[in-house]
């Protein structure tokens, strides 16, 4: 399912492969970065390389870049996985998944807005830099590819992979760094001194695609895991609510399943349950999901999204009650719910 609300703003290709304004944001505004950044620009190839033998091409000039981040949440009990895939034709996508105790809570997917052609020159520029630019080259003896570090409870694991189509070969580097995709920094990366190159390459890939002002769909959320989700339940669900003790949990699960199964184990001394619901809906395809669980000054604020079929989806008329049941670390009471966010699903030839 595609969501363009977090995608980068459209850009227009420039004649000299000049970088987008947001690429110059964040860390790359430092004086040290300016020198290599502008030195790399004349090397970026913008023309088609069709017909050129592989040995004449930079590694990955025709192929794909993949950036994977595993950012710890709640000192390791949860995780935010983020994967950017970016092809040499310019097309890119971002998949985000939030997990609690390695169980998925929710996922979000975005892709490049408009034509991917506008991002092709930016891809060529980054490939030039990681192949040729002093201080950013990845394929060097000081940065072996077989290092798979343990990053601990506070650092993210960052993997930068280049796939080369003509050679049908991958090169991949994994290191540790601070931050998730939105605030990743090369400062303090490890375990070896050259690890900062991997983090910086990931930062530049982010800036070229989603932009340096990127905000995660799960920004600020505690981790959570899905216990059940669907479109039909025997329970009467008219609005979202929380469950904070075993007795209420057992009673709800009895109603929800008709007594056909035992409720999943929840440690209510340390955890709580959120039931996302919007009442009965009359069109098939309407669904609901927990998006963020935020600890705020006075309790907890839960954000819920309702996904509604778009005008071109031709939904079938069917009465149903969508729901999403999640477990998360126990957060301060009271539990409040933000206004439900409607998210229209793009279908068929609908816009974008």
pLDDT digits (tens, 9 = 90+) for 191-237: 999 999 999 999 999 999 999 999 999 999 999 999 999 988 889 89
Checking 248-251 for CB contacts under 8 A at 24+ apart, the result is: 249/273
| pTM listed for this prediction | 0.82
Distance in angstroms (rounded) separating the CA atoms of residues 209 and 152: 28
Q: Where are the domains of the chain?
A: 21-208, 225-345
Q: Collapsing DSSP states into helix, strand and coil, what is residue 254?
A: helix
pLDDT category at 56 given cuts 50, 70, 90 is: confident
pLDDT over threshold 80, residue 282: no
pLDDT of residue 318: 66
- Check if the beta carbon of residue 7 is closer than 8 Å to that of residue 184: no
Task: Give me the mean pLDDT over the 292-304 stretch.
Answer: 96
pLDDT of residue 39: 39
- Check if the beta carbon of residue 62 is closer than 8 Å to that of residue 164: yes
The token pair at 252 is: 């709800």
As a whole number, the mean pLDDT across the chain is: 85
Residue 187, burial from CB neighbour count under 10 angstroms (0-12, 13-18, 19+): exposed
Q: Collapsing DSSP states into helix, strand and coil, what is residue 312?
A: coil
- Phi then psi dihedrals of residue 181, to 5 deg: -60, -40
- Check if the beta carbon of residue 324 is closer than 8 Å to that of residue 226: yes
Closest CA to 22 of 204, 151, 177: 204
pLDDT over threshold 80, residue 340: yes
Q: Collapsing DSSP states into helix, strand and coil, what is residue 32?
A: helix
Q: For residue range 110-169, what is the model confidence (pLDDT) as tens digits?
A: 999 989 998 999 999 999 999 999 999 999 999 999 999 999 999 999 999 999 999 999
């Amino acid at each position: 399912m595609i969501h363009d609300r977090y995608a980068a703003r459209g850009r227009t290709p420039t004649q000299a492969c000049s970088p987008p304004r947001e690429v110059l944001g964040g860390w790359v505004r430092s004086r040290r970065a300016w020198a290599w950044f502008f030195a790399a620009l004349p090397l970026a190839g913008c023309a088609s390389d069709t017909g050129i033998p592989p040995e004449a091409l930079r590694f990955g000039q025709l192929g794909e870049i993949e950036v994977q981040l595993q950012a710890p949440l709640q000192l390791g009990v949860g995780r935010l996985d983020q994967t950017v895939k970016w092809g040499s034709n310019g097309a890119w996508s971002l998949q985000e998944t939030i997990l609690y105790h390695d169980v998925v809570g929710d996922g979000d997917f975005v892709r490049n807005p408009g034509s991917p052609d506008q991002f092709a020159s930016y891809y060529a520029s980054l490939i030039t830099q990681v192949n040729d630019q002093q201080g950013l080259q990845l394929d060097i003896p000081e940065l072996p590819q077989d290092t798979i570090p343990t990053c601990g409870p506070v650092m993210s694991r960052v993997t930068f992979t280049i796939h080369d189509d003509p050679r049908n070969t991958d090169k991949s580097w994994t290191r540790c760094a601070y931050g998730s995709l939105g605030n990743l920094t090369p400062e303090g990366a490890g375990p070896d001194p050259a690890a900062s190159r991997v983090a910086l390459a990931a930062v530049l890939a982010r800036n070229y695609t989603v932009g340096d002002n990127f905000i995660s769909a799960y920004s600020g959320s505690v981790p959570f895991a899905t216990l059940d989700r669907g479109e039909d339940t025997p329970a009467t669900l008219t609005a979202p609510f929380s469950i904070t003790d075993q007795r209420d949990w057992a009673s709800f699960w009895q109603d929800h399943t008709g007594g056909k199964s035992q409720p999943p184990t929840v440690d209510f001394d340390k955890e709580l349950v959120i039931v996302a619901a919007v009442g009965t809906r009359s069109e098939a395809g309407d669904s609901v999901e927990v998006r963020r669980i935020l600890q705020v000054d006075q309790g907890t604020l839960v954000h819920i999204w309702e996904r509604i079929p778009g005008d071109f989806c031709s939904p079938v008329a069917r009465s149903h009650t969508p729901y999403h049941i999640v477990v998360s670390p126990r957060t301060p009471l009271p539990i409040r719910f933000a206004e439900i966010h409607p998210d229209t699903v793009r279908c068929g030839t609908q816009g974008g």
